[in-house]
Chain A
Amino acid sequence: MIRILLALFLLASPAHASEHASEKVIAGLSQNRVAITANFDGTGILIFGAVKREAPPPTTEPLDVIIAVSGPERPVVVRKKARVLGIWVNKESRTVSSAPSFYAIASTGPLPKILSKSEDLRYKITIPRMVAEKAAADGLSNIDEFASAVIRIRQHNGLYTEKGGKVNLADQTLFDTQIALPSALVEGDYKARVFLLRDGRVIDDFSKTIAVRKVGLERWIYNLAHERPLIYGLLSLTIAILAGWLASTIFRLLKLS
Protein backbone atom coordinates (compact mmCIF):
# COMPACT_ATOMS: atom_id res chain seq x y z
CA MET A 1 0.00 0.00 0.00
CA ILE A 2 2.67 2.46 1.05
CA ARG A 3 4.82 1.41 -1.82
CA ILE A 4 2.05 2.13 -4.33
CA LEU A 5 1.42 5.52 -2.75
CA LEU A 6 5.10 6.29 -2.90
CA ALA A 7 5.35 5.30 -6.50
CA LEU A 8 2.50 7.68 -7.34
CA PHE A 9 4.08 10.38 -5.22
CA LEU A 10 7.33 9.92 -7.09
CA LEU A 11 5.69 10.20 -10.48
CA ALA A 12 3.87 13.35 -9.45
CA SER A 13 6.77 15.17 -7.82
CA PRO A 14 8.50 17.80 -9.95
CA ALA A 15 12.09 17.30 -10.98
CA HIS A 16 13.96 19.83 -8.88
CA ALA A 17 17.05 17.76 -8.14
CA SER A 18 20.39 19.22 -9.08
CA GLU A 19 21.97 17.86 -12.22
CA HIS A 20 25.16 16.47 -10.74
CA ALA A 21 23.46 14.18 -8.20
CA SER A 22 22.04 11.42 -10.29
CA GLU A 23 20.13 9.72 -7.43
CA LYS A 24 18.18 11.37 -4.63
CA VAL A 25 16.48 9.89 -1.60
CA ILE A 26 12.98 10.84 -0.57
CA ALA A 27 11.60 9.44 2.67
CA GLY A 28 8.73 9.68 5.07
CA LEU A 29 7.82 8.48 8.56
CA SER A 30 4.64 6.81 9.69
CA GLN A 31 4.60 9.28 12.59
CA ASN A 32 6.71 12.29 13.38
CA ARG A 33 5.28 12.78 16.86
CA VAL A 34 5.38 10.20 19.62
CA ALA A 35 3.09 10.87 22.57
CA ILE A 36 4.16 9.31 25.87
CA THR A 37 0.96 8.54 27.72
CA ALA A 38 0.53 6.79 31.07
CA ASN A 39 0.27 3.36 29.44
CA PHE A 40 3.01 3.97 26.87
CA ASP A 41 4.80 0.72 26.15
CA GLY A 42 7.08 1.52 23.26
CA THR A 43 6.06 2.05 19.68
CA GLY A 44 7.21 1.28 16.19
CA ILE A 45 7.97 3.81 13.49
CA LEU A 46 7.76 2.87 9.86
CA ILE A 47 10.34 4.68 7.78
CA PHE A 48 9.83 4.39 4.07
CA GLY A 49 11.03 6.10 0.93
CA ALA A 50 12.22 5.87 -2.60
CA VAL A 51 15.16 6.72 -4.81
CA LYS A 52 14.51 9.41 -7.35
CA ARG A 53 16.44 9.28 -10.59
CA GLU A 54 16.78 11.44 -13.69
CA ALA A 55 18.54 8.66 -15.56
CA PRO A 56 18.52 4.83 -15.43
CA PRO A 57 20.43 3.46 -12.43
CA PRO A 58 24.14 2.84 -12.92
CA THR A 59 24.58 -0.90 -13.04
CA THR A 60 28.05 -1.15 -11.50
CA GLU A 61 27.38 -1.56 -7.78
CA PRO A 62 24.27 -2.51 -5.83
CA LEU A 63 22.36 0.24 -4.06
CA ASP A 64 22.34 0.26 -0.25
CA VAL A 65 20.27 2.10 2.31
CA ILE A 66 21.08 2.83 5.96
CA ILE A 67 18.44 4.19 8.29
CA ALA A 68 19.45 5.53 11.72
CA VAL A 69 17.25 6.92 14.48
CA SER A 70 18.98 8.69 17.37
CA GLY A 71 17.65 10.04 20.63
CA PRO A 72 18.58 13.30 22.36
CA GLU A 73 22.24 13.51 23.37
CA ARG A 74 23.07 13.84 27.04
CA PRO A 75 26.28 13.71 29.07
CA VAL A 76 27.09 10.34 30.65
CA VAL A 77 29.35 9.66 33.62
CA VAL A 78 31.09 6.28 33.28
CA ARG A 79 32.54 4.80 36.45
CA LYS A 80 34.88 1.85 36.55
CA LYS A 81 34.98 -0.47 39.53
CA ALA A 82 38.24 -1.70 41.00
CA ARG A 83 39.13 -3.83 44.00
CA VAL A 84 40.32 -1.79 46.97
CA LEU A 85 41.05 -3.65 50.22
CA GLY A 86 39.04 -6.61 48.96
CA ILE A 87 35.96 -4.54 48.16
CA TRP A 88 34.77 -3.53 44.72
CA VAL A 89 34.43 0.25 44.60
CA ASN A 90 33.97 2.89 41.92
CA LYS A 91 37.47 4.08 41.24
CA GLU A 92 38.06 5.79 37.93
CA SER A 93 35.40 7.88 36.30
CA ARG A 94 35.17 9.70 32.98
CA THR A 95 32.50 11.92 31.53
CA VAL A 96 31.44 11.43 27.95
CA SER A 97 30.07 14.90 27.23
CA SER A 98 27.25 13.62 25.07
CA ALA A 99 25.96 10.27 23.93
CA PRO A 100 22.58 9.56 22.33
CA SER A 101 20.03 8.16 24.78
CA PHE A 102 18.84 5.86 22.01
CA TYR A 103 20.33 4.74 18.71
CA ALA A 104 18.95 2.28 16.21
CA ILE A 105 20.46 1.47 12.84
CA ALA A 106 18.88 -0.63 10.15
CA SER A 107 20.47 -1.29 6.79
CA THR A 108 20.17 -3.37 3.66
CA GLY A 109 23.34 -5.29 4.48
CA PRO A 110 26.09 -5.66 7.07
CA LEU A 111 27.47 -2.18 7.86
CA PRO A 112 31.21 -2.94 7.41
CA LYS A 113 30.45 -4.21 3.91
CA ILE A 114 28.27 -1.38 2.67
CA LEU A 115 29.80 1.63 4.44
CA SER A 116 33.40 2.77 4.03
CA LYS A 117 35.37 3.99 7.05
CA SER A 118 35.91 7.48 5.68
CA GLU A 119 32.21 7.93 5.04
CA ASP A 120 31.40 6.70 8.53
CA LEU A 121 33.85 9.26 9.89
CA ARG A 122 32.14 12.00 7.91
CA TYR A 123 28.53 11.19 8.67
CA LYS A 124 28.98 9.47 12.07
CA ILE A 125 26.72 6.57 11.28
CA THR A 126 27.84 3.49 13.20
CA ILE A 127 27.32 3.21 16.96
CA PRO A 128 31.02 3.27 17.96
CA ARG A 129 31.56 6.31 15.72
CA MET A 130 28.59 8.08 17.27
CA VAL A 131 30.00 7.72 20.80
CA ALA A 132 33.78 7.57 20.21
CA GLU A 133 33.79 10.90 18.43
CA LYS A 134 32.45 12.64 21.53
CA ALA A 135 34.78 10.75 23.81
CA ALA A 136 37.76 11.81 21.69
CA ALA A 137 36.62 15.42 21.81
CA ASP A 138 36.58 15.15 25.60
CA GLY A 139 40.25 14.14 25.49
CA LEU A 140 39.79 10.82 27.25
CA SER A 141 43.05 8.94 27.48
CA ASN A 142 41.63 5.44 27.30
CA ILE A 143 38.69 6.21 25.04
CA ASP A 144 38.08 2.64 24.01
CA GLU A 145 37.49 1.29 27.47
CA PHE A 146 35.03 3.91 28.69
CA ALA A 147 33.27 4.64 25.41
CA SER A 148 32.84 0.96 24.66
CA ALA A 149 31.38 0.50 28.15
CA VAL A 150 28.67 3.03 27.25
CA ILE A 151 27.94 1.13 24.05
CA ARG A 152 28.02 -2.31 25.69
CA ILE A 153 25.71 -1.37 28.56
CA ARG A 154 23.23 0.44 26.33
CA GLN A 155 23.22 -2.40 23.80
CA HIS A 156 22.55 -4.77 26.65
CA ASN A 157 19.59 -2.62 27.73
CA GLY A 158 18.26 -2.54 24.17
CA LEU A 159 18.87 1.19 23.78
CA TYR A 160 21.47 0.80 21.04
CA THR A 161 20.62 -1.62 18.27
CA GLU A 162 22.16 -2.44 14.94
CA LYS A 163 20.32 -4.58 12.44
CA GLY A 164 21.87 -5.37 9.09
CA GLY A 165 19.44 -6.62 6.46
CA LYS A 166 16.40 -5.11 8.17
CA VAL A 167 15.78 -2.56 5.41
CA ASN A 168 13.74 -3.94 2.55
CA LEU A 169 14.78 -2.61 -0.82
CA ALA A 170 12.69 -3.36 -3.87
CA ASP A 171 13.84 -2.87 -7.46
CA GLN A 172 16.65 -0.58 -6.32
CA THR A 173 13.99 2.06 -5.77
CA LEU A 174 11.56 1.55 -2.91
CA PHE A 175 12.69 0.86 0.63
CA ASP A 176 11.13 0.62 4.08
CA THR A 177 11.97 -0.50 7.59
CA GLN A 178 10.38 -0.65 11.02
CA ILE A 179 12.27 0.96 13.93
CA ALA A 180 11.11 -0.09 17.39
CA LEU A 181 11.17 2.62 20.04
CA PRO A 182 11.47 1.00 23.49
CA SER A 183 9.23 1.76 26.46
CA ALA A 184 12.11 3.39 28.34
CA LEU A 185 12.00 6.39 26.03
CA VAL A 186 13.49 9.72 27.05
CA GLU A 187 11.64 12.85 26.07
CA GLY A 188 13.19 15.03 23.36
CA ASP A 189 13.74 15.47 19.65
CA TYR A 190 14.77 12.28 17.92
CA LYS A 191 16.47 12.38 14.55
CA ALA A 192 15.76 9.94 11.76
CA ARG A 193 18.46 9.83 9.07
CA VAL A 194 18.36 7.97 5.79
CA PHE A 195 21.55 7.39 3.79
CA LEU A 196 21.73 6.22 0.20
CA LEU A 197 24.96 4.42 -0.63
CA ARG A 198 26.78 2.97 -3.57
CA ASP A 199 30.18 1.34 -3.38
CA GLY A 200 30.54 2.29 0.30
CA ARG A 201 30.02 5.97 -0.41
CA VAL A 202 27.06 8.09 0.68
CA ILE A 203 25.48 9.56 -2.41
CA ASP A 204 22.55 11.25 -0.72
CA ASP A 205 21.02 11.62 2.71
CA PHE A 206 17.82 12.81 4.27
CA SER A 207 16.87 13.64 7.83
CA LYS A 208 13.74 14.34 9.75
CA THR A 209 12.88 15.06 13.40
CA ILE A 210 10.57 12.95 15.51
CA ALA A 211 9.19 14.86 18.51
CA VAL A 212 8.84 12.58 21.53
CA ARG A 213 6.74 14.26 24.20
CA LYS A 214 4.95 13.35 27.38
CA VAL A 215 1.26 14.19 27.20
CA GLY A 216 -1.74 14.35 29.53
CA LEU A 217 -1.18 13.22 33.10
CA GLU A 218 2.49 12.44 32.45
CA ARG A 219 3.06 16.00 31.24
CA TRP A 220 1.17 17.47 34.20
CA ILE A 221 3.10 15.49 36.82
CA TYR A 222 6.45 16.23 35.20
CA ASN A 223 5.76 19.96 34.94
CA LEU A 224 4.44 20.21 38.48
CA ALA A 225 7.49 18.38 39.84
CA HIS A 226 9.87 20.76 38.14
CA GLU A 227 8.00 24.06 38.33
CA ARG A 228 6.28 23.82 41.73
CA PRO A 229 8.42 21.30 43.63
CA LEU A 230 7.13 22.25 47.08
CA ILE A 231 3.48 21.87 46.08
CA TYR A 232 4.36 18.63 44.29
CA GLY A 233 6.10 17.29 47.39
CA LEU A 234 3.22 18.25 49.65
CA LEU A 235 0.74 16.71 47.20
CA SER A 236 2.73 13.46 47.18
CA LEU A 237 2.66 13.41 50.98
CA THR A 238 -1.07 14.13 51.05
CA ILE A 239 -1.73 11.23 48.69
CA ALA A 240 0.45 8.98 50.84
CA ILE A 241 -1.32 9.91 54.08
CA LEU A 242 -4.78 9.66 52.53
CA ALA A 243 -3.96 6.23 51.11
CA GLY A 244 -2.64 5.09 54.48
CA TRP A 245 -5.73 6.33 56.30
CA LEU A 246 -8.10 4.89 53.69
CA ALA A 247 -6.54 1.44 53.86
CA SER A 248 -6.62 1.47 57.66
CA THR A 249 -10.30 2.53 57.72
CA ILE A 250 -11.41 0.05 55.09
CA PHE A 251 -9.72 -2.80 56.90
CA ARG A 252 -11.23 -1.81 60.23
CA LEU A 253 -14.72 -1.68 58.73
CA LEU A 254 -14.20 -5.03 57.06
CA LYS A 255 -13.18 -6.53 60.35
CA LEU A 256 -16.12 -5.06 62.29
CA SER A 257 -18.74 -6.23 59.83
Chain B
Amino acid sequence: MQIYLPIAEISVNAFLLLGLGGMVGILSGMFGVGGGFLMTPLLFFIGIPPAVAVATEANQIVASSFSGVLAHLRRKTVDLKMGLVLLIGGLIGAGVGIEIFRALREIGQVDLLVKLTYVVFLGIIGSLMFAEGLNALKKSKTRAGKPAPRRGHLWIHGLPFKIKFRTSGLYISAIPPLAIGALVGILAAIMGVGGGFVMVPAMIYILGMPTKVVIGTSLFQIIFVTAFTTLMHATTNYTVDMALAVLLLLGGVVGAQIGTRIGLKMKAESLRLLLATLVLGVCGKLGLELLIEPSELFILGAGGE
Protein backbone atom coordinates (compact mmCIF):
# COMPACT_ATOMS: atom_id res chain seq x y z
CA MET B 1 0.00 0.00 0.00
CA GLN B 2 1.57 3.25 -1.15
CA ILE B 3 1.13 6.43 0.82
CA TYR B 4 1.99 9.97 -0.23
CA LEU B 5 3.88 11.94 2.43
CA PRO B 6 2.62 15.54 2.45
CA ILE B 7 5.83 17.23 3.62
CA ALA B 8 8.46 14.91 2.13
CA GLU B 9 6.50 15.02 -1.15
CA ILE B 10 7.20 11.45 -2.12
CA SER B 11 5.19 8.27 -2.12
CA VAL B 12 6.42 5.27 -0.14
CA ASN B 13 5.14 1.87 0.90
CA ALA B 14 3.27 2.13 4.21
CA PHE B 15 4.21 -1.40 5.30
CA LEU B 16 7.89 -0.69 4.71
CA LEU B 17 7.65 2.27 7.09
CA LEU B 18 5.71 0.25 9.68
CA GLY B 19 8.33 -2.49 9.47
CA LEU B 20 11.25 -0.09 9.82
CA GLY B 21 9.55 1.56 12.78
CA GLY B 22 8.96 -1.81 14.41
CA MET B 23 12.51 -3.04 13.98
CA VAL B 24 14.08 0.13 15.30
CA GLY B 25 11.48 0.20 18.10
CA ILE B 26 12.57 -3.24 19.30
CA LEU B 27 16.19 -2.07 19.46
CA SER B 28 15.08 1.09 21.20
CA GLY B 29 13.31 -0.84 23.93
CA MET B 30 16.12 -3.38 24.32
CA PHE B 31 18.98 -0.94 24.62
CA GLY B 32 17.37 2.27 25.79
CA VAL B 33 18.59 4.10 22.73
CA GLY B 34 16.16 6.19 20.70
CA GLY B 35 17.12 4.30 17.56
CA GLY B 36 17.64 7.52 15.62
CA PHE B 37 21.20 6.63 14.68
CA LEU B 38 19.82 3.64 12.77
CA MET B 39 16.53 5.08 11.55
CA THR B 40 17.85 8.35 10.16
CA PRO B 41 20.30 6.66 7.72
CA LEU B 42 17.59 4.12 6.80
CA LEU B 43 15.21 6.95 5.94
CA PHE B 44 17.85 8.56 3.70
CA PHE B 45 18.21 5.19 2.02
CA ILE B 46 14.51 4.91 1.09
CA GLY B 47 14.62 8.39 -0.41
CA ILE B 48 13.24 10.69 2.28
CA PRO B 49 14.91 14.12 2.01
CA PRO B 50 17.54 14.40 4.81
CA ALA B 51 16.03 17.52 6.40
CA VAL B 52 12.64 15.81 6.68
CA ALA B 53 14.19 12.54 7.88
CA VAL B 54 16.09 14.21 10.73
CA ALA B 55 13.16 16.31 11.94
CA THR B 56 10.57 13.57 11.67
CA GLU B 57 12.84 11.06 13.32
CA ALA B 58 13.05 13.33 16.37
CA ASN B 59 9.26 13.24 16.59
CA GLN B 60 9.17 9.47 16.28
CA ILE B 61 11.78 9.05 19.02
CA VAL B 62 9.48 10.96 21.38
CA ALA B 63 6.84 8.27 20.90
CA SER B 64 9.04 5.21 21.21
CA SER B 65 10.92 6.65 24.20
CA PHE B 66 7.67 7.56 25.95
CA SER B 67 6.31 4.09 25.39
CA GLY B 68 9.56 2.59 26.67
CA VAL B 69 9.84 4.85 29.70
CA LEU B 70 6.35 3.93 30.90
CA ALA B 71 7.37 0.30 31.05
CA HIS B 72 10.50 1.25 33.00
CA LEU B 73 8.59 3.56 35.36
CA ARG B 74 6.37 0.68 36.41
CA ARG B 75 9.44 -1.38 37.18
CA LYS B 76 10.95 1.60 39.06
CA THR B 77 14.05 1.50 36.88
CA VAL B 78 14.07 5.24 36.19
CA ASP B 79 16.21 7.61 38.26
CA LEU B 80 14.02 10.71 37.94
CA LYS B 81 16.41 12.95 39.86
CA MET B 82 19.32 11.98 37.66
CA GLY B 83 17.06 12.33 34.60
CA LEU B 84 16.19 15.91 35.52
CA VAL B 85 19.82 16.91 36.04
CA LEU B 86 20.75 15.34 32.67
CA LEU B 87 17.78 17.05 31.07
CA ILE B 88 18.81 20.54 32.19
CA GLY B 89 22.20 19.93 30.62
CA GLY B 90 20.54 18.41 27.54
CA LEU B 91 18.32 21.39 26.79
CA ILE B 92 21.25 23.80 27.07
CA GLY B 93 23.30 21.54 24.80
CA ALA B 94 20.52 21.17 22.22
CA GLY B 95 20.22 24.97 22.00
CA VAL B 96 23.97 25.28 21.39
CA GLY B 97 23.92 22.37 18.91
CA ILE B 98 21.18 23.93 16.80
CA GLU B 99 23.28 27.11 16.51
CA ILE B 100 26.34 25.09 15.42
CA PHE B 101 24.19 23.23 12.90
CA ARG B 102 22.87 26.48 11.43
CA ALA B 103 26.36 27.96 11.12
CA LEU B 104 27.70 24.86 9.36
CA ARG B 105 24.76 24.67 7.00
CA GLU B 106 25.69 28.12 5.75
CA ILE B 107 29.09 26.84 4.62
CA GLY B 108 27.59 23.63 3.19
CA GLN B 109 29.53 21.14 5.31
CA VAL B 110 26.76 19.74 7.50
CA ASP B 111 26.82 16.35 5.75
CA LEU B 112 30.49 15.85 6.45
CA LEU B 113 30.23 17.01 10.06
CA VAL B 114 27.28 14.72 10.73
CA LYS B 115 29.00 11.69 9.22
CA LEU B 116 32.34 12.36 10.89
CA THR B 117 30.68 12.80 14.28
CA TYR B 118 28.84 9.53 13.72
CA VAL B 119 32.01 7.65 12.78
CA VAL B 120 34.09 9.05 15.64
CA PHE B 121 31.51 8.62 18.37
CA LEU B 122 30.12 5.30 17.23
CA GLY B 123 33.65 4.00 16.79
CA ILE B 124 34.91 4.99 20.24
CA ILE B 125 31.77 3.94 22.09
CA GLY B 126 31.32 0.74 20.14
CA SER B 127 34.88 -0.43 20.79
CA LEU B 128 34.75 0.50 24.48
CA MET B 129 31.49 -1.33 25.02
CA PHE B 130 32.57 -4.32 23.03
CA ALA B 131 35.80 -4.74 25.02
CA GLU B 132 34.02 -4.21 28.32
CA GLY B 133 31.20 -6.56 27.38
CA LEU B 134 33.65 -9.30 26.40
CA ASN B 135 35.55 -8.92 29.67
CA ALA B 136 32.38 -9.02 31.73
CA LEU B 137 31.17 -12.09 29.87
CA LYS B 138 34.47 -13.90 30.51
CA LYS B 139 34.40 -13.01 34.20
CA SER B 140 30.80 -14.11 34.66
CA LYS B 141 31.68 -17.44 33.07
CA THR B 142 34.75 -18.12 35.20
CA ARG B 143 33.50 -16.71 38.50
CA ALA B 144 29.82 -17.44 38.08
CA GLY B 145 27.42 -15.37 40.17
CA LYS B 146 30.00 -13.10 41.76
CA PRO B 147 29.02 -9.41 41.34
CA ALA B 148 31.63 -7.10 39.84
CA PRO B 149 33.36 -5.02 42.50
CA ARG B 150 32.16 -1.39 42.84
CA ARG B 151 34.59 1.00 41.34
CA GLY B 152 35.61 3.43 44.03
CA HIS B 153 38.37 5.20 42.20
CA LEU B 154 36.32 7.41 39.86
CA TRP B 155 37.72 10.94 39.55
CA ILE B 156 34.24 12.46 39.56
CA HIS B 157 33.90 11.74 43.25
CA GLY B 158 36.17 14.68 44.03
CA LEU B 159 33.89 17.36 42.52
CA PRO B 160 31.65 19.73 44.57
CA PHE B 161 27.81 20.12 44.56
CA LYS B 162 27.18 16.54 45.59
CA ILE B 163 23.66 15.18 45.22
CA LYS B 164 22.26 11.90 46.47
CA PHE B 165 20.76 9.82 43.64
CA ARG B 166 18.88 7.22 45.62
CA THR B 167 17.60 5.07 42.72
CA SER B 168 21.09 4.78 41.25
CA GLY B 169 22.68 4.35 44.66
CA LEU B 170 25.10 7.19 43.96
CA TYR B 171 26.27 10.21 45.90
CA ILE B 172 28.10 12.31 43.30
CA SER B 173 28.53 15.88 42.11
CA ALA B 174 25.87 17.38 39.79
CA ILE B 175 28.57 18.67 37.44
CA PRO B 176 29.35 15.45 35.50
CA PRO B 177 25.67 14.63 34.76
CA LEU B 178 25.09 18.24 33.65
CA ALA B 179 28.12 18.12 31.38
CA ILE B 180 27.14 14.74 29.93
CA GLY B 181 23.62 16.03 29.32
CA ALA B 182 24.94 19.11 27.54
CA LEU B 183 27.35 17.10 25.37
CA VAL B 184 24.59 14.69 24.41
CA GLY B 185 22.27 17.63 23.68
CA ILE B 186 24.81 19.13 21.27
CA LEU B 187 25.29 15.79 19.55
CA ALA B 188 21.55 15.20 19.41
CA ALA B 189 20.96 18.45 17.58
CA ILE B 190 23.87 17.96 15.17
CA MET B 191 23.27 14.29 14.40
CA GLY B 192 19.48 14.36 14.48
CA VAL B 193 19.26 11.59 17.04
CA GLY B 194 18.16 11.20 20.64
CA GLY B 195 21.70 10.60 21.80
CA GLY B 196 21.01 7.48 23.85
CA PHE B 197 23.91 5.60 22.30
CA VAL B 198 26.28 8.19 23.75
CA MET B 199 24.38 8.68 26.99
CA VAL B 200 24.01 5.03 27.95
CA PRO B 201 27.76 4.27 27.95
CA ALA B 202 28.55 7.65 29.55
CA MET B 203 26.19 6.85 32.41
CA ILE B 204 27.71 3.41 32.89
CA TYR B 205 31.38 4.26 32.51
CA ILE B 206 31.64 7.86 33.72
CA LEU B 207 28.86 8.12 36.30
CA GLY B 208 28.99 4.48 37.34
CA MET B 209 25.23 3.98 37.29
CA PRO B 210 23.79 0.44 37.40
CA THR B 211 22.90 -0.81 33.89
CA LYS B 212 19.25 -1.56 34.68
CA VAL B 213 18.59 2.05 35.77
CA VAL B 214 20.57 3.56 32.93
CA ILE B 215 18.15 2.54 30.17
CA GLY B 216 15.01 3.96 31.76
CA THR B 217 16.74 7.17 32.80
CA SER B 218 18.22 7.64 29.35
CA LEU B 219 14.79 7.18 27.74
CA PHE B 220 13.30 9.67 30.20
CA GLN B 221 15.80 12.36 29.25
CA ILE B 222 15.58 11.60 25.51
CA ILE B 223 11.82 12.28 25.45
CA PHE B 224 12.31 15.90 26.42
CA VAL B 225 15.37 16.62 24.31
CA THR B 226 13.76 15.18 21.16
CA ALA B 227 10.45 16.93 21.87
CA PHE B 228 12.40 20.19 22.03
CA THR B 229 14.21 19.36 18.78
CA THR B 230 10.92 18.45 17.05
CA LEU B 231 9.40 21.80 17.96
CA MET B 232 12.50 23.67 16.78
CA HIS B 233 12.44 21.88 13.41
CA ALA B 234 8.69 22.33 13.00
CA THR B 235 8.81 26.05 13.63
CA THR B 236 12.02 26.95 11.80
CA ASN B 237 12.31 24.50 8.88
CA TYR B 238 8.74 23.10 8.46
CA THR B 239 10.30 19.68 7.94
CA VAL B 240 8.34 17.48 10.38
CA ASP B 241 6.21 15.10 8.31
CA MET B 242 3.23 14.09 10.40
CA ALA B 243 2.15 11.24 8.12
CA LEU B 244 5.65 9.77 8.08
CA ALA B 245 5.95 10.16 11.85
CA VAL B 246 2.61 8.43 12.50
CA LEU B 247 3.58 5.41 10.38
CA LEU B 248 7.01 5.11 11.95
CA LEU B 249 5.73 5.52 15.48
CA LEU B 250 2.91 3.01 15.05
CA GLY B 251 5.57 0.43 14.30
CA GLY B 252 7.97 1.98 16.77
CA VAL B 253 5.82 1.99 19.90
CA VAL B 254 4.83 -1.62 19.44
CA GLY B 255 8.45 -2.56 18.77
CA ALA B 256 9.63 -0.68 21.87
CA GLN B 257 7.27 -2.66 24.09
CA ILE B 258 8.51 -5.96 22.69
CA GLY B 259 12.10 -4.76 22.96
CA THR B 260 11.75 -3.73 26.61
CA ARG B 261 10.54 -7.22 27.48
CA ILE B 262 13.36 -8.88 25.56
CA GLY B 263 15.86 -6.55 27.25
CA LEU B 264 14.66 -7.43 30.74
CA LYS B 265 15.10 -11.14 30.08
CA MET B 266 18.60 -10.82 28.67
CA LYS B 267 21.84 -10.66 30.61
CA ALA B 268 23.28 -7.15 30.90
CA GLU B 269 26.60 -8.35 29.45
CA SER B 270 25.16 -9.88 26.31
CA LEU B 271 22.91 -6.85 25.91
CA ARG B 272 25.99 -4.65 25.99
CA LEU B 273 27.83 -6.85 23.48
CA LEU B 274 24.89 -6.79 21.10
CA LEU B 275 24.56 -3.01 21.24
CA ALA B 276 28.33 -2.68 20.73
CA THR B 277 28.18 -4.87 17.62
CA LEU B 278 25.32 -2.80 16.25
CA VAL B 279 27.09 0.50 16.93
CA LEU B 280 30.30 -0.75 15.30
CA GLY B 281 28.35 -1.98 12.27
CA VAL B 282 26.77 1.40 11.62
CA CYS B 283 30.11 3.09 12.25
CA GLY B 284 31.86 0.83 9.75
CA LYS B 285 29.25 1.45 7.07
CA LEU B 286 29.41 5.22 7.47
CA GLY B 287 33.21 5.15 7.61
CA LEU B 288 33.44 3.19 4.36
CA GLU B 289 31.11 5.70 2.71
CA LEU B 290 33.58 8.44 3.52
CA LEU B 291 36.63 6.47 2.38
CA ILE B 292 35.49 4.67 -0.77
CA GLU B 293 35.08 6.68 -3.94
CA PRO B 294 31.32 7.17 -4.44
CA SER B 295 29.82 6.00 -7.73
CA GLU B 296 28.00 9.31 -8.07
CA LEU B 297 30.26 12.25 -7.30
CA PHE B 298 27.47 14.81 -7.44
CA ILE B 299 24.55 15.34 -5.13
CA LEU B 300 21.53 17.58 -5.57
CA GLY B 301 19.97 19.76 -2.93
CA ALA B 302 17.13 22.23 -2.80
CA GLY B 303 18.37 25.70 -3.57
CA GLY B 304 17.09 29.18 -3.01
CA GLU B 305 17.74 29.48 0.70
Q: B30-59 toward A: CB 8 Å interface, digit per residue (1/0)?
A: 000000000000000001000000000001
* A233 at the B interface (CB under 8 A): yes
**Complex contact A96–B303 (CB within 8 A):** yes
**Complex contact A229–B238 (CB within 8 A):** yes
* B202 at the A interface (CB under 8 A): no
Q: Which of B129-137, B148-156, B164-172, B242-250 contacts A (4 or more CB under 8 A)?
A: B242-250
User: How far, in Å, is B140 (CB) from chain A's closest CB?
Assistant: 29
* A241 at the B interface (CB under 8 A): yes
**Complex contact A38–B294 (CB within 8 A):** no
**Complex contact B62–A241 (CB within 8 A):** yes
Q: Which of A14-22, A48-56, A145-153, A172-180 contacts B (4 or more CB under 8 A)?
A: A145-153
> CB-CB < 8 A to A74: which residues of B?
302-304
A152 to B297 CA separation, bound complex (whole angstroms): 11
A230 to B289 CA separation, bound complex (whole angstroms): 37
Chain B residues within 8 Å of chain A by Cβ, number: 60
Query: Which one of B2, B257, B297 lies within 8 Å of A80 (CB-CB)?
Result: B297
Knowing A38-B3, A79-B108, A89-B112, say if A146 contacts B298 (CB, 8 Å): yes
Query: Which one of B1, B108, B231, B238 lies within 8 Å of A237 (CB-CB)?
Result: B231
**Complex contact B66–A214 (CB within 8 A):** no
Q: Which of B6-14, B184-192, B271-279 contacts A (4 or more CB under 8 A)?
A: B6-14
**Complex contact A225–B299 (CB within 8 A):** no
**Complex contact A83–B293 (CB within 8 A):** yes
Smallest CB-CB separation from B233: which chain A residue? Answer: A233
Query: Which one of A42, A83, A243, A248 lies within 8 Å of B249 (CB-CB)?
Result: A243
Question: Which residues on A are within 8 Å of B, measured CB to CB?
Answer: 36-42, 74-83, 86-90, 93, 95-97, 146, 149-150, 152-154, 183-187, 214, 217-219, 221-222, 225-226, 229-230, 232-237, 239-241, 243-249, 251-252
Q: Can you offer 25 A-B residue contacts whose CB atoms are under 8 A?
A: A36-B4, A77-B301, A78-B298, A79-B300, A82-B297, A90-B112, A95-B303, A97-B303, A146-B298, A150-B300, A218-B4, A222-B6, A222-B7, A225-B6, A225-B7, A229-B234, A229-B235, A233-B233, A240-B59, A240-B62, A243-B63, A244-B62, A244-B256, A248-B253, A252-B74
Question: Which residues on B are within 8 Å of A, measured CB to CB?
Answer: 1-4, 6-7, 9-11, 47, 59-60, 62-68, 70-71, 74, 108-109, 111-112, 116, 227, 230-231, 233-235, 238, 240, 242-243, 245-246, 249-250, 253-254, 256-257, 289-294, 296-304
Q: A40-B4, A79-B108, A240-B59 are in contact. List 5 more A-B contacts (CB 8 A).
A: A42-B11, A184-B10, A240-B63, A247-B67, A248-B67
